[in-house]
Amino acid sequence: GFSSGLPLALTAGTLQAWLTVEGLSLKAIGFATLVGQAYVFKFLWSPAMDRYAVPFWGRWLGRRRGWLLLAQLLLAAMLGLMAFVGVPGPDQAAAWPGLVHAAERLGVDAASARAVPLLLLAVGVAFFSASQDIVIDAYRTDVLPAAERSAGAAVLVLGYRLAMIVSGGLALWLATDVTGWRGIYALMAGLMLVLTLVTLWAPRPPLHAKPPRTLREAVVEPWQEFFSRKGAWALLLAIVFYKLGDAFAGALSTTFLIRGVGFSPADVGLMNKSMGLVATIVGALLGGALQARLGLWRALLLFGVLQGASNLAYWVLAISPQSLALMGLAIGVENFTGGMGTAAFVALLSALC
């Protein structure tokens, strides 16, 4: 869970804060949120990762851990390149000047054009992070018996949210007061390398079923099996829309807190680290416990309503005088309900496997 959550903020909230501090326009920062589209379309290449094993170390580590190690190594490389490239100032040489000049010829303003190489690398981070998520979900399903998947989902969400606080809240504070923006991305690249040791140490999952022998078995037959189920279309719509409100509300939340409300990146990071951490732990654990009592479907409904309503806290923050306590409350409510909702959502996805 920690390895899965670490890259997300680095292509979302932390990246937004970096671009905001560098003076990019709100329009440009809004477009920058599109770098994470790989998370939406990861189903397109997930069958290939299920069908094929990684050459070289795939036979030693197995299909799941082989892909996981490759994704983590490439993530570390991409994050390191982001630290190297950065966002150069007007009087500094760009790492890839050809890309910057091409963006300017397309009508992109100078400040945004200088960030184009960084954003392209962020697209790569999102792609390999989404690929890592594919393998982690498959590995978790393989290694956990059905009776333990709800508890496993709660633990995964806990690790996921802890990682987002490290690469989000803690990273904002460190980037502002200690390391600078390039330094924090270099630090996260090193942390991702450390996480490869967990992959090497993790047990090889038992082979419950033979891997697909053809792409038809990996791609066509799973879709046929899914849509043969009763209520498949309703279930698919629920999967698509369950986290949509959270996604829209959180897309520019860091920019909103820094530029819209006027908090410093250090304040935003500190509040995310403290209030967000506590709320996430409580929300994930309580969500797992309530889900066991309520059942999956009632838990999904209740937690979905709560996480949707939690976005109203940011509206209250926008119309109120600037207050660290109020920001902490808004972040706490969002993290608490988000942890509950994500725990139930992950359990739903696991139940479909």
Binned at pLDDT 50, 70 and 90, residue 250 comes out as low
In whole angstroms, give the CA distance from residue 187 to residue 343. Answer: 28
In whole angstroms, give the CA distance from residue 181 to residue 188. Answer: 11
Average pLDDT, the chain: 83
Are the beta carbons of 12 and 30 closer than 8 angstroms? no
In whole angstroms, give the CA distance from residue 134 to residue 28. Answer: 29
Of 21-25, 75-79, 347-351, which gets the smallest average pLDDT? Answer: 347-351
Taking 3-state DSSP, the helix, strand and coil percentages for the chain, each rounded to the nearest 5, stand at: 80, 0, 20
In whole angstroms, give the CA distance from residue 142 to residue 140. Answer: 5
The per-residue pLDDT for 223 is 74
Q: What is the pTM of this model?
A: 0.75
Tell me the one-letter amino acid at 289.
Answer: A
| 195's tokens | 């996480």
Q: How many helices (H) and strands (E) does the chain have?
A: 23, 0
Measured from the Cβ of residue 75, the count of other Cβ atoms closer than 10 Å reads 28
| 245's tokens | 């409100």
Backbone φ, ψ for residue 311 (5° rounding) = -65, -20
CATH class held by domain 2-351: mainly alpha
Tell me the one-letter amino acid at 343.
Answer: A
The per-residue pLDDT for 222 is 73
Q: Of the segments 93-97, 146-150, 325-329, which one has the largest average pLDDT value?
A: 325-329
Residue among 161, 152, 168 at smallest CA distance from 338: 161
In whole angstroms, give the CA distance from residue 276 to residue 162. Answer: 9
Give the model confidence (pLDDT) of 297-315 as tens digits: 898 889 988 988 888 888 8
pLDDT > 90 in the chain, percent: 18
In whole angstroms, give the CA distance from residue 95 to residue 228. Answer: 51
Give the model confidence (pLDDT) of 155-192 as tens digits: 777 788 788 888 887 888 888 878 889 999 999 999 99
pLDDT at 273 over 70: no
Backbone φ, ψ for residue 12 (5° rounding) = -130, -100
Are the beta carbons of 339 and 279 closer than 8 angstroms? yes
- The structural domains of the chain, with segments of one domain joined by +, span 2-351
